[in-house]
Structure 1
Amino acid sequence: MYKWIYKQGVKRRNHLLPTAENFLQGTDKWSRAELEAYQLEKLKVLVSWAYKHSEHYRRKLDEANMHPTQLQTLADLQRIPPITKKTLIEENEAIHATANFKRLIYSETSGSTGSPLTFYRNLEWDARHRAAIHRGYSWYDIQPWDRNGYFWGYNLDVKKHWKLKIMDKLVNRFRIFSYEKKEILTFIKNLNRADYLEGYSSMIYYVARKIEQENIAINTNLKMIKGTSEKIFDAYQPTVKKVFGRKIISEYGAAETGIIAFECPEGNMHTTMENVIVEVIEGEIYVTNLFSHSFPIIRYALGDYVEIDTETKCACGREHTIVTSVMGRIGKEIIGHQETYPSLTFYYIFKNIVMDSGDAIRYQVLQHQKGHLEFRLEQHLSPSIRKQLEAEIVKYFAQDMKYDIREGVDFYRDGGKLKDFVSFVETV
């Protein structure tokens, strides 16, 4: 029944999805040379289209003395000026293509960075985005209509709450609406027939921890647990694996870029090279979506620090570039008494501790005033690990920063996604 409902939904929403799925299944084991040749072919089409139909890109390419016919190699992409979210919002109308599309799909970002973005996806863009997700599912022997648990937001409005329940029923999904023990027990009962779980990694971990603390017996045989939209802390994995039987795997992307990478069963995050081109410049990721004809996304500064690997040959046989690490958001800077520091500093502080001691710490850092940091840790540290953390803080900030370390406390969450660094300091 659910397979039939799913296929009817596809016909109604986007009939191009099956074609996109078949294509990505066919290119799954392409060589790197084949993938890059395909990228160049589609990039030429995209840039020519943007020059013809997008006022913003025509102006920017002219200013850069870059005509689409000059795009002969993937390296030539670097001649096109990058674009930021601020520009996508401020020049939204000028970026949208003026061509007539049979149908467009409304999209918006969550606004977790403070600035929501709205735009329209053409059908092929939407189909490629969803097909990339479904290909990732297929690596774990999962179909889109399989039974799944959803760790996402919920709405307190009664009408919207019941609307979500009806929609979840149609797509063979169940979700958790609160952290009350009764709700968790209902969720656990549904796990018996579930094939996979997905959603915010912090919520997956939190429910796993509650189940562990309450010593609640569960019976499940999950094929996949997927975390998305949030950083997956190393410290989440032992509890999640103990409770649910699998670790959290990564799906990396954004509403405006589509799926950038998906983790395979061997533990590597393969970029969807057939859909996007990824550049990393000084640690920052820039994404080009090759099918974003209605709202061209070319060299978009997503706002994340990442590391990629173009050399490693994955045991799964895929030759797609590997994202080895998503290190965090390029958010507000850390403000010391004398100097400023990138928020990436915290990644290295806690990564060094993992590398040296093997202890993964669940952390969040708040800055309420210049020259002072509040380290919030969910667990209690041993004296040796606390001493190591203090040494790492001093190593990176010296005497420029005072700090407090609070152990066994909850994280601050101001709605939306959980952030590892939150600054309340206003900067000019």
Structure 2
Amino acid sequence: MFKIFDLTLQINGFPMQKAKSELQKIIAIPEEEYSHFIEQKKLEIVNFHLNNNPFYQELVGTESLKNWSDLPILNKRNLQKPLKERLSSGYTEKSIYLNKTSGSSGDPFIFAKDKFCHALTWASNIYRFGWYGIDFNSSYQARFYGIPLDFIGNKKERFKDFLSHRYRFQIFNLSDKILERFLNDFKTKKFDYINGYTSSIVLFAKFLQQKNIVLKTICPTLKVCIVTSEMLFDEDKILLEKQFGIPVVNEYGASELDLIAFQNPEGEWQVNSETLFVEILDENNTVLPYGKEGRVIITSLYNKAHPFIRYDIGDTGILDEKSTPKKTILKKLIGRTNDIAILPSGKKSPGLTFYYVTKSIVEDDGNVKEFVIKQTKIDTFDIEYVSKTELNLEQIQKIEAAIALYLEKGLVFTFIRKEKLERSKSGKLKQFVSLLQ
């Protein structure tokens, strides 16, 4: 069969064959040699950035690595400066993969990966989805994700959907009328799998529950549902499996890194130990043993364009006591949940919709450091933000236009600049909070 997905990545400069070959070599490393492999990759990536990345040299303050534990913890605040100041020597914005984080944690920034590193990310995705019989070249995806609504951004994303063999369900409006349309699409299209934001997929399952419909009975081609970006609670997983009639797989990833953990067919949340090194630290940056709860700190072992070394992703978690260097199991993840916004028209929008709204103020100059949106009344929202300079009228008008586009007209927004924002006990900044629920 013609592999249009692989070919598209190859045409865009991502060396997929080389990446797939590298991944297979890593997977083949025996358990007893794996610890040595990880230590070698850690040393290689740190030395590379100490020699080739002025931003990282300044952050570390030394030219050589003595002890891994002496390396600073990199946080999202460190990265809120123009990308060209963070790129490694020899890399330009034209020679890399460039993107923005979702800002779901309230700390958005622009990041980069070198093309081989990004190809490895895709190779890792392809490998893990393959556990469930999913092939990106041929399997048809029901995609519950946001999409830019501006003309060019929308067309680009739709074209990518076409090349990736996926059909996108817009999740900015999840009223019963819209969910009825979703249901009709499942009756007429031969989807192989569902993939997307947890909260949106759970809302769809609740709609099916009200109608007493099991999705597999009207779309028998469905094999698996893979949820991402937000927490999947146990009761929601039970609901999804009941109403969809298929296995539900929990994915934990970050766009700036890779797939971090992916539920394997044995039901374990298996950490991606091929391209990442995951540590759990306490508040004093001491490494905690397996079984202890702490901050999730991640090192990207292959990204040479931009350092993600001992990077605090903003989540709290526990690694299972039965973990090994090769097969590390994430026992628990705390965080990554967003509320649903209910609007005057009856429209329901997941909290992640606000990523698309606030994207209009996330600029590469790093002015807006953090933001959180609070729904105080059905038509009233506060946007609290931390920035070097106050938002100007032009920026506010941009946000208001995005609100009308993604949500609905007639909503009242108040902009409140703050010195710092309130965080949860885990240190997580919840981007959207509804005070109505």
TM-score where L is the length of structure 1: 0.69
Distance 1:268 1:25 in 2: 21
Deviations 1:357-410 (A, max 9, x none): xxxxxxxxx898xxxxxxxxxxxxxxxxxxxxxxxxxxxxxxxxxxxxxxxxxx
Say whether 1:321 aligns with 2:328: yes
Say whether 1:168 aligns with 2:161: yes
Q: Which residue of 1 aligns with 2:110?
A: 118
Q: Equivalences for 1:34-49 in 2 at 5 Å?
A: 34-49=33-48
Partner SS, residue 50 of structure 2: helix
Q: Equivalences for 1:253-402 in 2 at 5 Å?
A: 253-282=253-282, 283-309=294-320, 311-312=322-323, 319-328=326-335
- Tell me which of 72, 76, 89 is aligned to 1:81: 72
For the structure 1 residues 155 and 108, does the alpha-carbon distance in structure 2 shift closer, same or farther, using more than 3 Å as the test?
Answer: closer
The alpha-carbon deviation at position 58 of structure 1 amounts to 1.6
Q: Which amino acid aligns with 2:45?
A: L
Q: Equivalences for 1:77-116 in 2 at 5 Å?
A: 77-90=68-81, 92-100=83-91, 103-116=95-108
The alpha-carbon deviation at position 114 of structure 1 amounts to 2.9
Q: Which residue of 2 aligns with 1:25?
A: 24
Partner SS, residue 142 of structure 2: strand
Say whether 1:201 aligns with 2:198: yes
Distance 1:236 1:181 in 2: 18
Say whether 1:185 aligns with 2:178: no
Deviations 1:34-80 (A, max 9, x none): 22222222222211111111112222333xx5613x3xxxxx32111
Distance 1:263 1:196 in 2: 15
Q: Which amino acid aligns with 1:140?
A: Y
Contact 2:144 2:201 in 1 (8 A): yes
Q: Which residue of 2 aligns with 1:211?
A: 208
Partner SS, residue 3 of structure 2: helix
Which has more radius of gyration?
Answer: 1
The alpha-carbon deviation at position 129 of structure 1 amounts to 1.2
Q: Which residue of 2 aligns with 1:8?
A: 7
Partner SS, residue 210 of structure 2: helix
The alpha-carbon deviation at position 92 of structure 1 amounts to 4.4
For the structure 1 residues 162 and 90, does the alpha-carbon distance in structure 2 shift closer, same or farther, using more than 3 Å as the test?
Answer: closer
Q: Which amino acid aligns with 2:144?
A: F
Distance 2:4 2:248 in 1: 28
Q: Which amino acid aligns with 1:188?
A: F
Partner SS, residue 113 of structure 1: coil
Contact 1:199 1:226 in 2 (8 A): yes
The alpha-carbon deviation at position 265 of structure 1 amounts to 0.6
More displaced stretch, 40-49 vs 296-305: 40-49
For the structure 1 residues 94 and 269, does the alpha-carbon distance in structure 2 shift closer, same or farther, using more than 3 Å as the test?
Answer: same
For the structure 1 residues 171 and 195, does the alpha-carbon distance in structure 2 shift closer, same or farther, using more than 3 Å as the test?
Answer: same
Q: Per chain length, whose mean CA-contact separation is higher, i.e. which structure has more relative contact order (CA < 8 Å, sep 6+)?
A: 2
Contact 1:220 1:244 in 2 (8 A): no
Q: Which residue of 2 aligns with 1:150?
A: 143
The alpha-carbon deviation at position 9 of structure 1 amounts to 0.4
For the structure 1 residues 330 and 170, does the alpha-carbon distance in structure 2 shift closer, same or farther, using more than 3 Å as the test?
Answer: closer
Cα RMSD after superposing both structures: 3.0
Q: Which amino acid aligns with 2:4?
A: I
The alpha-carbon deviation at position 132 of structure 1 amounts to 1.3
For the structure 1 residues 118 and 156, does the alpha-carbon distance in structure 2 shift closer, same or farther, using more than 3 Å as the test?
Answer: closer
Contact 2:105 2:314 in 1 (8 A): no
For the structure 1 residues 56 and 159, does the alpha-carbon distance in structure 2 shift closer, same or farther, using more than 3 Å as the test?
Answer: closer
The alpha-carbon deviation at position 275 of structure 1 amounts to 0.7
For the structure 1 residues 214 and 156, does the alpha-carbon distance in structure 2 shift closer, same or farther, using more than 3 Å as the test?
Answer: farther
The alpha-carbon deviation at position 301 of structure 1 amounts to 0.7
Partner SS, residue 128 of structure 2: helix
The alpha-carbon deviation at position 259 of structure 1 amounts to 1.8
The alpha-carbon deviation at position 6 of structure 1 amounts to 1.7
Deviations 1:229-257 (A, max 9, x none): 11111121122111212242122121222
Contact 1:120 1:295 in 2 (8 A): yes
For the structure 1 residues 170 and 257, does the alpha-carbon distance in structure 2 shift closer, same or farther, using more than 3 Å as the test?
Answer: closer
The alpha-carbon deviation at position 86 of structure 1 amounts to 0.3
More displaced stretch, 263-272 vs 108-117: 108-117
Q: Which amino acid aligns with 1:189?
A: K
Distance 2:296 2:188 in 1: 39
Distance 1:188 1:128 in 2: 32
Q: Which amino acid aligns with 1:149?
A: A
Contact 1:250 1:262 in 2 (8 A): yes
Q: Which amino acid aligns with 1:43?
A: K
Distance 2:164 2:205 in 1: 24
Say whether 1:52 aligns with 2:63: no
The alpha-carbon deviation at position 266 of structure 1 amounts to 0.6
For the structure 1 residues 175 and 268, does the alpha-carbon distance in structure 2 shift closer, same or farther, using more than 3 Å as the test?
Answer: same
Q: Which residue of 2 aligns with 1:384?
A: none
For the structure 1 residues 367 and 199, does the alpha-carbon distance in structure 2 shift closer, same or farther, using more than 3 Å as the test?
Answer: closer
Uncovered stretches (5+) of structure 1, i.e. residues with no partner = 71-75, 332-365, 369-413
Partner SS, residue 225 of structure 1: strand
For the structure 1 residues 157 and 256, does the alpha-carbon distance in structure 2 shift closer, same or farther, using more than 3 Å as the test?
Answer: closer
Partner SS, residue 253 of structure 2: strand
For the structure 1 residues 224 and 27, does the alpha-carbon distance in structure 2 shift closer, same or farther, using more than 3 Å as the test?
Answer: farther
Q: Which amino acid aligns with 1:117?
A: F
Contact 2:106 2:430 in 1 (8 A): no
Q: Which amino acid aligns with 2:331?
A: T
